[in-house]
Amino acid sequence: MPAEATIARCATTTGIGLHSGASARLKLLSAPAGSGIQFRRVDLDGFVVEARSANIAKVSYATSLMKKGVFISTTEHLLSALVGAGIDNVVAEIDNLEVPILDGSALPFIEMIRAARPRRQTRRRRVIKIVEKLELREGGKFIGVYPCDRYQLHYQIDFPHPVIGRQRFSLELTPENYERELAPARTFGFLADFDAMRRQGLIRGGSLNSAVVLDEKAVVNGELRFGDEFVRHKMLDLIGDLALLGARLEAEVVADRAGHALHTALVQRLIADRRHWEMVEVEEPSQAPATAAAVGVYTD
Provide the residue ranges of all domains of the chain, joining segments of one domain with +: 3-124, 126-299
Q: Nearest to residue 162, comparing CAs of 219, 97, 233?
A: 219
User: How does residue 297 score in pLDDT terms, banded at 50, 70 and 90?
Assistant: very low
Closest by Cα among 79, 13, 14, 20 to 206? 20
77 catalytic residue (yes or no): no
pLDDT the model gives residue 92: 98
DSSP element (H, E) containing 108: helix 107-115
Q: pLDDT of 226-282, one tens digit each?
A: 999 999 999 999 999 999 999 999 999 999 999 999 999 999 999 999 999 999 998
> HSE of 255 in the Cβ direction (CA atoms, 13 Å)?
30
- For residue 189, give the 3-state DSSP assignment: strand
Topology of domain 126-299 in CATH is lpxc deacetylase, domain 1 (3.30.1700)
CB 237 within 8 A of CB 182: no
Contacts of 84 (CB under 8 A, 6+ apart): 106, 110, 173, 175, 178, 179, 182, 183, 236, 239
Mean pLDDT of 142-159: 98
Q: Tell me which of 59-63, 149-153, 258-262, 290-294 is least confident.
A: 290-294
From the list 19, 77, 233, 260, the catalytic residue is: 260
CATH architecture of 3-124: 2-Layer Sandwich (3.30)
Going by pLDDT thresholds of 50, 70 and 90, the confidence category of residue 284 is low
> Residues 6 or more apart from 46 whose CB is under 8 A from it?
40
Write the CA distances from 47 to 27, 56, 69, 158, integer angstroms.
Answer: 15, 16, 11, 40
**Model pTM score:** 0.92
Q: With bands split at pLDDT 50, 70 and 90, how would you rate the model's confidence at 201?
A: confident
Residue 98 has pLDDT above 60, yes or no: yes
Give the CA-trace dihedral at 259, 264, 265, 266, to 10 degrees: 100
pLDDT the model gives residue 164: 98
For the chain, what is the mean pLDDT? 92
Say what percent of the chain tops pLDDT 90.
Answer: 86
Question: In this predicted model, which residue has the larger pLDDT, 11 or 196?
Answer: 11
